[in-house]
Structure 1
Amino acid sequence: MRHQGLLDAVTDGVQRVEDLARELGISPSTVRRGLSELEKAGRVVRTHGGAVPAPAGGELSWSQKGLRNAAAKRRIADRADALVEDDHVVLLDAGSTTTFVAERLARRFGPTVVTAGVGPMTALHDAEGIELIVVGGRVRRPRGSIVGDYAHGVLDRLTADIAFIGADGLVPGRGVNCPSPEIAAAKELQMRSARRVVVVADSTKVGRDDDPYWAVVPGPYGLITDDALDPAALAALEADPSCTPHLVPAAEGTAPE
């Protein structure tokens, strides 16, 4: 396999770019390119300053995903927070970017937050100014999504002012790409339970369709992403009449150094 030596070094605990370059006798830029290819292959998870091995099961947890493009996700979360009024009922999907949104909302006083995610629940657990409602059901590991009939029972009886939906992939005109049919169903139900739908996803997710299942977005929606979109992805968003994109500045070198 390409970059096997690099993967072996990361697995053995050498995980910073500079240390990997020194260990393997190659340049830092070569290490970064190799780590990017290994991440696309699902073998490592990029972090600020290097990489860590990907989990054996292939699917990343919400906390592991939070290490990827973290600066861009924080800026996306800042923009999402600005859309929330103090009297809003906010629906937060599971995921790393929605967890960043929850961290911003934790500083607020007044909103009610309903979540089907362990990450947002954890971020808001001690937020005294937030009325926190956690839907019941089964926790789907490792991503921390709460799914099942109990969750459906809560969401069927809810109309939120705004829903922030995470995405493993988003294809304009097709929907949100999902790793399982129950995740797709849960996202669709959350989107139907809100007056306004906003997908929060960094630019690497736009155009991505690695998984076989889809959540169809029911009507017009917003997308908050970063401006590191490639031209084809940006053109596809602009051609989708259902999508209103909101671009935030990408962190310097959106892919982690």
Structure 2
Amino acid sequence: MRHQELLDAVTDGVQRVEDLARALGISPSTVRRGLAELEQAGKVVRTHGGAVPAPAGGELSWTQKSLRHAPAKRRIAACAADLVQDDHVVLLDAGSTTTFIAERLAQRSGPTVVTSGLGPMTALHDAEGIELIVIGGRVRRRRGSIVGDYARGVLDRITADIAFIGADGIVPGRGVNCPSPELAAMKELQMRSARTVVVVADSSKVRAEEYAYWAVLPGHYVLLTDDGISAEDTRLLDADPACELRVVETAGGPNTPAATD
């Protein structure tokens, strides 16, 4: 099978695995392998049961990012929410995984949540048991984030018990990869304002460095990721004295058919 034929079919609107298999006369497992390779090339975004074309021009929106590796992200979010106690003040970064954390916390009563993300804000808007504080500033709609100098005025006056930080990539000894210096600065502010920092990133983000900008990690942080992480990446993270690695069990990690379809 040529990948271009599969990509053309997805672009033309045939986006479920079963439909693609019938249209191209190939097996569903062959479709899944092809979609996985197209996703690695940045051509498609995996969804539950299929794929959609990747956006032209690069950066995915936060809603599109929520479709990528969603089962692994939800398992990470469930474990992250379990770290929150009812009297905690929680900082939630913008992002898809942090939005899944917010959905979990919406069922709770007691925590105070401070967020710079439109996703977490929306998830917690009607949560009567949560005291919700939204960091002010300029809205970056594509990223679903709030940035700018207004945020510093809020974060300089808060000491959170725990901060959950999203990542486009994380590299031991380097930091959290970000698509803009504004987002990098926001992540650093949030990390400096919390007693405990937890980076929530599925295993595809480990050692990913797509962008030119970095948020510097604090002296100690927890990395919460899934069991799709490679042995080499595990070794490197374990060798980083600043990193406390915690691996969440999934159906085999985000890059396997069982976890993405």
If the length of structure 2 is used for normalisation, what is the TM-score? 0.95
Match of 1:19 in 2: 19
Distance 1:38 1:245 in 2: 29
- What is the aligned partner in structure 1 of residue 172 from structure 2? 172
Which residue in 2 is equivalent to 1:230? Answer: 230
Deviates more, 1:2-11 or 1:205-214: 2-11
CA drift of 1:253 comes to: 5.8
Which digits, 9 at most, give the CA deviation of each residue in 1:198-229, with x for residues without a partner?
00111111111111111110110001111111
CA gap of 1:23–1:204, structure 2 versus 1, over 3 A, is same
Listed as ranges, the matches of 1:59-78 within 5 Å are 59-78=59-78
Residues 56 and 141 of structure 1, relative CA distance in 2, 3 Å threshold: farther
Question: How many positions carry a matched residue from both structures?
Answer: 256
25-34 vs 130-139, which moves further: 25-34
What letter corresponds to residue 172 of structure 1 in structure 2? P
Task: Give identity over the alignment, percent.
Answer: 77
Q: Which whole-Å deviations, capped at 9, do the CAs of 1:12-67 have from their partners, x for residues lacking one?
A: 11001121121112222222222122212222100121101112232112221111
**Which one is further off, 205-214 or 123-132?**
205-214
CA distance in structure 2 between the aligned counterparts of 1:251 and 1:67, rounded to whole angstroms: 16
Deviation of residue 235 (structure 1)?
0.8
Judge which range, 179-188 or 61-70, deviates more. 61-70
Partner secondary structure for residue 194 of structure 2: coil
Deviation at 1:141, TM superposition (A): 2.6
Structure 2 counterpart of 1:36: 36
Q: What secondary structure does 1:196 align onto?
A: strand
Question: Mind listing any 5+ residue stretches in structure 1 that lack a counterpart?
Answer: none
Equivalent-residue separation in structure 2 for 1:55 and 1:134 (angstroms):
29
Mapped partners of 2:151, 2:8: distance in 1:
41
Query: AA paired with 1:194?
Result: A
Would you say the 8 A contact 2:44–2:52 is kept in 1? yes
More displaced stretch, 115-124 vs 30-39: 30-39
Cα distance in structure 2, aligned partners of 1:49 and 1:252: 16
Q: What CA distance in whole angstroms lies between the structure 1 residues aligned with 2:12 and 2:49?
A: 16
CA–CA separation in structure 2 for the residues paired with 1:88 and 1:43: 41
Task: Look up the match of 1:147.
Answer: 147
The 5-angstrom pairing of residues 80-99 of structure 1 reads 80-99=80-99
What is the alpha-carbon distance in structure 1 between the residues aligned to residue 192 and residue 225 of structure 2?
Answer: 22
Distance (Å, rounded) in 1 between the aligned partners of 2:8 and 2:253: 25
Matched residue type, 1:175: G
Alignment of 1:1-257 (within 5 A): 3-252=3-252, 254-255=254-255, 256-257=260-261
Gapped regions of structure 2 (runs ≥ 5): none
SS in 1 for 2:246: strand
> Which stretches of structure 1, 4 residues or more, deviate above 6 A after TM superposition?
none
Query: For 2:31, what is the secondary structure of its paired residue?
Result: helix
Distance 1:221 1:11 in 2: 41
Q: What code does the residue aligned with 2:51 have?
A: A
Whether the 8 Å contact between 2:90 and 2:111 is mirrored in structure 1 is: yes
Give the distance between the partners of 1:253 and 1:108, measured in 2 at CA: 28
- For 1:138 and 1:155, how far apart are their aligned partners in 2? 15
Q: Which moved more, 1:18-27 or 1:98-107?
A: 18-27
Q: Distance in 2 between matches of 1:36 and 1:133?
A: 38
- RMSD after superposition: 1.2
DSSP 3-state at the match of 1:45: strand
In the alignment, is the contact (CA less than 8 A) between 2:228 and 2:252 conserved in 1? no
Contact 2:164 2:198 in 1 (8 A): yes
Amino acid of the structure 1 residue aligned with 2:175: G
Using the alignment, how far apart are the partners of 1:97 and 1:241 within structure 2?
A: 25
